[in-house]
């Protein structure tokens, strides 16, 4: 993949870089310009919040950064690799090795218990013993030592999100991408999830990119970006 690397002068210590990232959905009358040339540069170990109202393009931005969808124009680099140029069949490996994902609705499998859910990403790997112990340690780390064999339906929303966070960590990615991780949680539980993400950032050095309309996340972030109608900025919209 060396042909997709950029020189050090381009990258610095940046683990995620986007250049003029643009996404247009549909065409003709249904054409939506969801992202309009977003430039972002995230250094290793940062916790970044992208704040924006519903429909501003937050999920679109995260999906491009996470290589879950292709940009219409522009470039995305993860750890120096231009993912916007990597063929689909090789992208899954980058996603698995470099990225962990957390979503508003957790996406747990209801018939599996907490530990089994955490182990989903390693199912194809058949190194069950080692990962089972790692999964147990991660569930302890997120405060669910006593809930490992509970199914999602037997867990509160905050506990389900903790399971999802442990699952995001199972393959030890450097970057966690979180799409409205507190969106379905009450204020107190949301604050606990924010605390947990900060702890993982500070103590484990995980890089976080969190897109949200929760201004409390922004208060706890090192840097905040603002997304309005597909335009990304590092100053709040009213100061533009």
Ligand X SMILES: Nc1ncnc2c1ncn2[C@@H]1O[C@H](COP(=O)(O)OP(=O)(O)O)[C@@H](O)[C@H]1O
Cα separation, 16 vs 225, in Å, equals 14
Asked if residue 12 binds ligand X (CB under 6 A), the reply is: no
**What are the CA-CA distances from residue 9 to residues 81, 136, 207 (Å)?**
14, 41, 21
What is the gyration radius of the CA atoms in the chain, in angstroms?
18
Least Å from the CB of residue 30 to ligand X:
7
Least Å from the CB of residue 195 to Mg ion:
23
Asked if residue 63 binds Mg ion (CB under 5 A), the reply is: no
Say which residues have a Cβ less than 8 Å from residue 78's Cβ, sequence separation at least 6.
15, 16, 65, 67, 94, 98, 99, 175
Least Å from the CB of residue 107 to Mg ion:
14
Residue range at the interface with Mg ion (CB under 5 A); choices 30-38, 54-62, 110-118, 162-170: 54-62
Asked if residue 210 binds ligand X (CB under 6 A), the reply is: no
Asked if residue 59 binds Mg ion (CB under 5 A), the reply is: yes
Helix/strand/coil for 188: helix
54 binds, among Mg ion, ligand X, none (CB under 5 to 8 A by kind): ligand X
Least Å from the CB of residue 101 to Mg ion:
13
Least Cα distance to 162 among 106, 230, 218, 110 occurs for 106
207 binds, among ligand X, Mg ion, none (CB under 5 to 8 A by kind): none
Cα separation, 240 vs 229, in Å, equals 14
Asked if residue 55 binds ligand X (CB under 6 A), the reply is: yes
Least Å from the CB of residue 68 to Mg ion:
12
Residue range at the interface with ligand X (CB under 6 A); choices 26-34, 113-121, 152-160, 181-189: 26-34
Say which residues have a Cβ less than 8 Å from residue 13's Cβ, sequence separation at least 6.
43, 44
- Using CA of residue 68, residue 70, residue 74, residue 75, what is the dihedral sign? positive
Asked if residue 182 binds Mg ion (CB under 5 A), the reply is: no
Asked if residue 25 binds ligand X (CB under 6 A), the reply is: yes
Can you give the binding site for ligand X, defined by CB under 6 A? Answer: 25-26, 32, 34, 52, 54-60
């Amino acid at each position: 993949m060396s042909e997709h690397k950029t020189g050090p002068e381009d990258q610095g210590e940046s683990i995620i870089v986007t250049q003029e990232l643009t996404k247009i959905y549909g065409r003709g009358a249904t054409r939506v310009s969801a992202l309009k040339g977003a430039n972002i540069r995230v250094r290793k170990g940062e916790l970044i919040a992208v704040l924006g109202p519903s429909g501003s393009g937050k999920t679109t931005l995260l999906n491009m950064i996470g290589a879950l969808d292709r940009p219409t124009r522009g470039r995305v680099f993860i750890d120096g690799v231009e993912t916007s140029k990597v063929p689909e069949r090789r992208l899954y490996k980058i996603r698995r090795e470099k990225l962990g994902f957390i979503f508003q609705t957790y996406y747990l499998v209801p018939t599996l218990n907490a530990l089994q859910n955490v182990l989903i990403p390693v199912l194809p790997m058949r190194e069950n013993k080692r990962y089972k112990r790692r999964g147990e340690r991660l569930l302890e780390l997120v405060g669910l030592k006593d809930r490992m064999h509970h199914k999602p339906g037997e867990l509160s929303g905050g506990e389900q999100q903790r399971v999802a966070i442990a699952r995001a960590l199972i393959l030890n990615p450097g970057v966690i991408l979180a799409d409205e991780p507190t969106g379905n949680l009450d204020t107190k539980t949301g604050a606990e999830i924010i605390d947990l993400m900060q702890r993982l950032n500070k103590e484990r050095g995980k890089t976080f990119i969190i897109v949200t309309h929760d201004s409390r996340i922004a208060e706890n972030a090192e840097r905040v970006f603002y997304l309005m109608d597909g335009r990304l900025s590092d100053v709040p919209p009213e100061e533009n």
